[in-house]
Every structure is written in structure tokens, then in C-alpha cells.
Amino acid sequence: MTPASSFHLIGLIGAGIAGSLSPVLHEREAAAQGLRYAYRTLDIDELGLAPGDAGQLARDAVRLGYTGLNVTHPCKQAVITGLDALSDDARELGAVNTVTVRHDAAHDVGSRQGDRLTGRNTDHTGFRAALAEGLPGAALGTVVLVGAGGAGSAVARALLDAGARRLLVADADASRAQQLAARLGPHPGPAAHPSRVSAVVLEDVPARIAEADGVVNATPIGMVGHPGTPFDASVLTSRHWLADVVYRPLETQLVKAALAAGCRVLDGGWMAVSQAADSFELFTGLPADRSRMRAHFLELAASAAGKDLS
């Protein structure tokens, strides 16, 4: 674990991330704890790189002094090629959003060649914590998950760990949904009862929602630059709960439709804060004040929304 007194230089690898709230969110929490902490974006678009270059970019960043990395779309799977190890959940999900760095002082003293990069997944732990805190007691008999990419994989694992008995996964790429369902397969829930995970075609989502307790959007649809909803939101009723992983804007078109239908709603800010707090703790070895981070996030999101509208 990195000593708290060290200087923390953290990077975010992804594409189109100039508007990310992560840098300020991390730096504010670090400042509140008296830490020397800087957070920078490493945008592959600006660097002229492809998603497949993410693994080498991670290694290059650490060689240049970065002490930890976050990873976002579209690099969560591609970054794995540059890592030395994976946590169990990252290996199962095939997706990484946090990279921790350990330097072996006994190896290649005086260089960065002894750095060991480990990929982890705080999207998974973050959504599970967000669900418990933001939607306590949510029914988990049948849940429809739209989106089977890196975020969708993490959400699926979190839902199963939380006790979902039946998980229906859909994606615009049907094969990706099928692969996720096959990878998770029979999954022992908290009471050791296996959960059922099945892939469904995107066109069937409205009909499947009719028989579900809750719905999660784990696609980019609804975020700034990607307007709309991932399915016909008119099928939502007051007996459903809805979660969205998109946090910019905080009130996506889907969230607005769900609120209008009387649904209990978990906006994307809950997961954003929870996964950021988990990453912060991995980077620093110190507990994050999650309530403070949530308050900072809401302030930042409100400010960002004003800029988006101007």
C-alpha cells in the first residue's frame, strides 16, 4: 500500500474524457485529508492512440511517475494487455477500471522497471455499495440489464452478489450479451442459491421489463453527446426501480421518465462516487469520506450541468 505521506499522481485513461468529474472529485477528497495528490486525464483521442494502445499507455504512464490509474470507456478491456496481475473480480469480468502500482525496491533499484501493475474493478464494488445505500430493499427477483460492456459486466456481477435471482442481459451487440451470460453462468448468491443469467435480444427488453422488478442502464445512451433512452421508457411503472450508470447529466432522459412513472431511481452519481471512493482508498490506503465525496459530486455535477446548457 502506498504510504499516505507520499505524493500521489493519478491518471485517467479513456477517450473523450475532458469533461470527467473524477479529477476534481479525487483532488477535493485528497485536499480534505491533507494529501499531496494530483489527478490528470490521459485521453487517447488527444494522444492520437487507439483503445488497443491502452495497455502500453498504462505502462508508460507508470514509468513516467504515475502512482495509480483509473480506466474508462473504451479502454477497460484493452488495458489488460499491459498489466501484470488482475484481482479476482477483474479477471472474472474481463474489465479493469483501476490500476494499482507496487514498486519492488529489491528489483531494478533506481528504475521503474520493478513496477507491478495490478488491474482491479471498483465499478463492481461501487455499484453494489450504491445499490445498497441508494435503493435499500430493492426487489431483486428479476432484473433487466441493458449493456454488456465493461460497466455492464461490473453491474451484472454486483447484482448477482446483491442477491438477484434472475438477470436478463441485453446489448446492441447480441454476442456480447451472450458471452457475459455464459461467463457469469450459475452464480452462487449470498445464500448459496444459484442465480440464473440469460441473454435476451434488445428488441425484447420492453416485454421483459414488464415481468421484472428493476432495470439498469449500463450503456452510454443518455450521456452528453448520446441523447435518448436505451429502450422505450414508457414500459416503466411505479412498481419498477431503475438505475442508470450515466452521471452526466445526472438526470438523463431515462431517469426523468422513470421519475415521472413513479419509479424508485438510482442515478449514476451513486455509482460514480462509490467507485471513486473505492479507487481512492486503493491508491492512498486511507478511508474515503463517502458522504463528503457525494456532496462534492453533487456540487460538481450541478456546475457541469450549467456549463452543458450554456
Q: What angle do CA 43, 169, 183 make, to 5 degrees?
A: 80
Q: Compute the distance between CA of residue 211 and CA of residue 217 in angstroms, rounded to an integer.
A: 17
Does residue 76 carry a catalytic annotation?
yes
213 is in an annotated binding site: no
Which of 26, 28, 76, 157 is catalytic? The answer is 76
CA pseudo-torsion sign 110, 52, 46, 310:
negative
88 is in an annotated binding site: yes
34 is in an annotated binding site: no
Rounded to the nearest 5 percent, the helix, strand and coil shares of the chain are: 45, 20, 35
45 is in an annotated binding site: no
6 is in an annotated binding site: no
**Residue 177 near residue 199 (C-beta atoms within 8 A):** yes
72 is in an annotated binding site: yes
Three-state secondary structure readout of 59-103: HHHHHCCCCEEEECCCCCCHHHHHCCEECHHHHHHCCCCEEEEEE
123 is in an annotated binding site: yes
DSSP for 139-201 reads --SEEEEE--SHHHHHHHHHHHHHT-SEEEEE-SSHHHHHHHHHHH-SEE-TTSPEEEEEE--
147 is in an annotated binding site: yes
148 is in an annotated binding site: yes
268 is in an annotated binding site: yes
Which of 217, 124, 123 is closest to 172 using CA atoms? 217
19 is in an annotated binding site: no
247 is in an annotated binding site: yes
Binding residues for shikimate: 20-22, 72, 97, 123, 247, 275
Binding residues: 20-22, 72, 88, 97, 123, 147-151, 245, 247, 268, 275
Positions marked active-site: 76
Binding residues for NADP(+): 88, 147-151, 245, 268
